[in-house]
């Protein structure tokens, strides 16, 4: 019985390690400041905000959230309509501490954490993603509400000054 338990544990850990090695959504070698500058250029042209997801390939919740963006049509549509999505790496290889300091230390909320910049580069919101969770995943309605509440249209002062 002990041998069977050991074999099962080895198979599970091997599967988890091989999955972890395959995940490459974050690039630890990227210069986060250059990434943000590029995203801001696009956001300005397209009249969108920049949505930064800070995390790492080591983080299962980071991978899960990124996968959720790409597998749910409504979430994907809301993102593409209003945001330029950017993944900023935080890992032992590259913590991007200088960039995170400029973003007012979003890592204080854990990972993943979302930061929204307007097209001028001003940080307008930092979101602890724990509030977007439901059970062992992310809540579609909460995520859609979040994306809508911080979209350029929702923050247009002309809507509120008339």
pLDDT in tens, 87-96: 999 999 999 9
Residue of 80, 71, 86 whose CA lies nearest to 38: 86
Q: What value does the mean pLDDT take over residues 148-154?
A: 97
Q: Measuring CA to CA, how many Å separate 152 from each of 4, 6, 130, 137, 149?
A: 56, 54, 23, 27, 9
Domain at 24-155: CATH code: 3.40.30.10
Q: In the sheet that 83-89 helps form, which strands lie side by side, from edge to edge? A: 83-89, 49-55, 113-117, 123-128
Residue of 28, 15, 36 whose CA lies nearest to 58: 28
* Residue spans per domain, the chain: 24-155
pTM to 2 decimal places: 0.85
Q: How many CB atoms lie within 10 A of CB 96?
A: 21
pLDDT in tens, 97-139: 999 999 999 999 999 999 999 999 999 999 999 999 999 999 9
């Amino acid at each position: 019985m002990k041998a069977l338990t050991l074999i099962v544990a080895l198979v599970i850990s091997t599967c988890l390690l091989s999955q972890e090695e395959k995940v490459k959504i974050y690039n630890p070698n990227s210069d986060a400041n250059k990434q943000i500058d590029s995203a801001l250029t696009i956001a300005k042209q397209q009249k969108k905000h920049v949505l930064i997801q800070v995390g790492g390939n080591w983080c299962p919740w980071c991978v899960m959230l990124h996968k959720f963006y790409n597998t749910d049509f409504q979430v994907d549509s809301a993102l593409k309509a209003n945001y330029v999505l950017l993944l900023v790496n935080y890992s032992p290889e590259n913590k991007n501490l200088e960039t995170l300091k400029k973003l007012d230390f979003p890592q204080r909320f854990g990972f993943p954490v979302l930061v929204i910049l307007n097209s001028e580069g001003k940080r307008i919101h930092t979101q602890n993603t724990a509030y977007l969770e439901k059970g062992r995943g992310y809540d579609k309605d909460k995520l859609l509400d979040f994306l809508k509440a911080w979209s350029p249209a929702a923050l247009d002062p002309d809507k509120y000054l008339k």
